[in-house]
Amino acid sequence: MVVVMYRTLTLPVVALVCLAASLGSARAQDWLLNAKDSHFYMQTEKAEAVIEVHQFTGLTGSIDKDGNAKVTIDLTSVASGIDVRDVRMRFLLFETYKFPSAEVTAKLDMASLQALLSNARVTYPLKFTVAMHGVTKELEAQVYVTRLSDKSVSVSTAKPIIITTDSFGLTEGLAKLSAAVNGTPIVSAASITFDLVFETGDRLAVVQAEQQQAARQKQAEETRPITADECQTRFAVISTTGAIYFKTGSAELDQASAPLLDSVADIANRCPAVKVEVTGHTDSVGGAHSNQVLSEQRAQSVVAFLAQHGVTSTRVTAAGFGDTRPVVPNNTEANRAKNRRIEFRVLQQ
């Protein structure tokens, strides 16, 4: 009996000694985020009745020896369960063609995390910096740090973290999102909850291998052929971004248009069987004839850009409609800006 008891206890003792050793030297270790076991959710509300929870699966992160923590959230990985909704969030809200990811950085006080040597969980007042959509903000939130094993900790929100769209310059994107769903109001704030698992020791190799596999999957997902319907969904959303720019009264593309047009070329190249129509539209300022000519020339400029990026011009037709097809009345500058646009469409075969 004593022998059996001794044997069963030996293993846990070894484990404990290991744990003590690794936590004792926690200051001297690197930790990597395990994306497979981590969860990151964004909750949004629309139409005064619908609450939706979206998950971001593209997570990478690390904490170094000195407590410098960094987590990158791939905004293109937003998954609400509905493709068109994801496409809208990417192109209209986050503008992932310009700002593909959000980054969270923090400097952790490793000394205060030493409490994890004796407690499975500590409440930690996390001060962190969020860089998203070209804006950087300092935030503070209570998190739980839980020791899951001697090689793994979880960092999770004690309470949802509220983020407003105006603090990250996302108000205009939200308006575009709302317009895309027939003007359904969308609450201009979201709440974030997460549970991030960081691992160290011999788990590092495993996490690194998983990271590489995730990167390959992302690559495969981003280059997979898409159907004509998926192509049309993306073109319809992209047509409302308002992110193709020309000099006033000119058909010369502004450099700032490149990020979005690169996405258009990429999408067109992933559905090589479909024919694409590019149409130009102007506001009502100026004469009808000159607007007509300008809209045709602008569409041609876009076709030329696409041709330079692998979309053969035999697949693309260009047309101009001048000021004859406004999407909103030409009565304010903001509306006129919406009417000056390039639209993309899949032509039915």
Partner 1 sequence: MHRIVMRVVLLLAFVGAGLASAQAQEWRLNGKESHFYMETAKADSIVEVAEFSGLEGAISKDGDASVKIDLQSVASGIDVRDTRMRFLLFETFKFPAAEITAKLDMAKLDALRTATRIAYPLKFTLALHGISKDIEAPVFVTRLNDKSVSVTPIKPIIVTAAAFGMTEGIAKLSSAVNNTPIVSGASITFDLIFETP
Residues that bind partner 1 (CB under 8 A): 8-9, 12-13, 16-17, 39, 41, 43, 45, 48-51, 53, 55, 119-121, 144, 146-149, 154, 156-160, 162, 164, 185-191, 193, 195
In the bound state with partner 1, the residue whose beta carbon lies nearer, of 190 and 278, is 190
Interatomic CA distance for residues 35 and 214, integer angstroms: 9
- Nearer to partner 1 by Cβ, of 17 and 273: the residue is 17
Q: Could you identify the residue written with the tokens 């030996």?
A: 10
Nearer to partner 1, 157 or 291 (CB): 157
Residue 240, C-beta contacts closer than 8 angstroms, at least 6 positions apart? 92, 176, 179, 180
Complete DSSP assignment for 303-322: HHHHHHTT--GGGEEEEE-T
Kindly state the smallest distance separating residue 53's Cβ from partner 1, in Å.
6
Question: By C-beta, is 11 or 220 nearer to partner 1?
Answer: 11
Beta carbon nearer to partner 1, 133 or 336: 133
CB of 108 to partner 1, least distance (A): 20
Q: Which amino acid is at 196?
A: L
The one-letter amino acid at 44: T
Q: How far is the CB of 279 from partner 1 (least distance, A)?
A: 33
Structure tokens at 133: 């959509």
**Residue 221 beta carbon to partner 1: minimum distance, rounded to whole angstroms:** 23
CA atoms of 329 and 335, how far apart (whole Å): 7
Task: Please give the backbone phi and psi of residue 222, each rounded to the nearest 5 degrees, phi first.
Answer: -75, -15
Give the residue with the Cβ less far from partner 1, 13 or 256.
13
Which two tokens mark 345?
A: 């469409």
Smallest distance from partner 1 to CB 181, Å: 14
What gap in Å lies between CA 298 and CA 262, rounded to an integer?
17
Angle at 172 between CA 335 and CA 231, to 5 degrees: 85
Q: How far is the CB of 48 from partner 1 (least distance, A)?
A: 5
Kindly state the helix (H) or strand (E) to which residue 215 belongs, with its residue range.
helix 203-223
Whichever of 185 and 287 has its CB closer to partner 1, that residue is 185
Q: Tell me how far, at minimum, the Cβ of 316 lies from partner 1, in Å.
A: 40
For residue 209, the surrounding DSSP H or E stretch is helix 203-223
In whole angstroms, what is the distance from residue 201 CA to residue 29 CA?
8
